[in-house]
């Protein structure tokens, strides 16, 4: 994914949520002050591999074998804790730092990459948390235009950003665990974000000419009017 392809979708997300592009760009620039260029060749190992994308939904506990069977595991936010508690290693944590920054910090101290994301609403946590990480293992990301050491591989929520990251680096197959688009335990804002995650996975599977089982039985209900022309 490059920004030219991503930007039309990004504009639709901003409009739908009423988010500010200026705020996202300011957050990106704040994050850039705390990080160094990340050695992206570390993700070359994803090429040709089966990559598990672990979401933090309630079904995760019952689907851990999918992660055990995968070549590589990318985990979203608190899914990381569930996997680690089950003795399953993660190869990268994808997070906007809102729930478990101590887990992210610990991973960087172990030399495991953390894709730390800045957006308009999380500048204070970026400023307080990212400087405590081992920056050699921080991949800084934004949903706005990439700049300096801050990258954009596509995606909006932690989970779908993990999927777009794996796609960007040539994953052969993406498998999904812990994805609950209809989770009744989330608030209205989170539910809206899950709807966008679903749409973005729908777009990604079309780009990859692959069908993700997590979307089986759901594709017909997905509004595709937002897709880039």
User: Can you spell out the DSSP letters for 128-189?
Assistant: HHGGGS-GGGEEEEESS--BTTEE--S-SSHHHHHHHHHHHTT-SEEEEES--TT-TTS-HH
Look at residue 227 in the predicted model and tell me its pLDDT: 84
pLDDT digits (tens, 9 = 90+) for 9-49: 999 999 999 999 999 999 999 999 999 999 999 999 999 99
For residue 92 the two structure tokens come to: 């990268």
- Average pLDDT of the chain is 97
Look at residue 55 in the predicted model and tell me its pLDDT: 98
pLDDT digits (tens, 9 = 90+) for 162-211: 999 999 999 999 999 999 999 999 999 999 999 999 999 999 999 999 99
pLDDT above 80 for 229: no
Confidence of residue 224 (pLDDT cuts 50, 70, 90): confident
Confidence of residue 87 (pLDDT cuts 50, 70, 90): very high
Distance CA 114, CA 125 (A): 15
For residue 97 the two structure tokens come to: 């730092």
Terminal C-alpha separation, the chain: 16
């Amino acid at each position: 994914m490059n920004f030219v392809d991503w930007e039309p979708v990004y504009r639709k997300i901003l409009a739908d949520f009423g988010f500010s592009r200026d705020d996202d760009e300011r957050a990106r620039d704040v994050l850039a002050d705390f990080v160094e260029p990340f050695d992206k060749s570390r993700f070359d190992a994803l090429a040709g591999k089966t990559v598990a994308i672990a979401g933090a939904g309630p079904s995760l506990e019952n689907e851990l074998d999918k992660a055990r069977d995968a070549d590589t595991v990318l985990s979203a936010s608190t899914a990381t804790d569930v996997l680690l508690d089950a003795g399953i290693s993660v190869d990268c944590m994808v997070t906007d730092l809102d729930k478990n920054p101590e887990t992210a910090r610990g991973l960087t101290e172990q030399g495991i990459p953390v894709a730390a994301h800045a957006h308009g609403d999380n500048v204070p946590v970026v400023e307080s948390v990212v400087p405590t990480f081992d920056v050699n293992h921080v991949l800084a990301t934004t949903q706005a235009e990439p700049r300096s050491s801050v990258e954009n591989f596509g995606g909006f929520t932690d989970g779908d950003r993990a999927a777009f990251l794996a796609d960007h680096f040539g994953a052969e197959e993406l498998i999904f665990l812990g994805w609950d688009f209809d989770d009744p335990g989330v608030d209205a804002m989170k539910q809206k974000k899950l709807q966008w995650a679903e749409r973005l996975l729908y777009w990604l599977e079309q780009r990859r000419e692959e069908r993700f089982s997590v979307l089986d039985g759901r594709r017909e209900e997905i509004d595709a009017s937002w897709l880039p022309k």
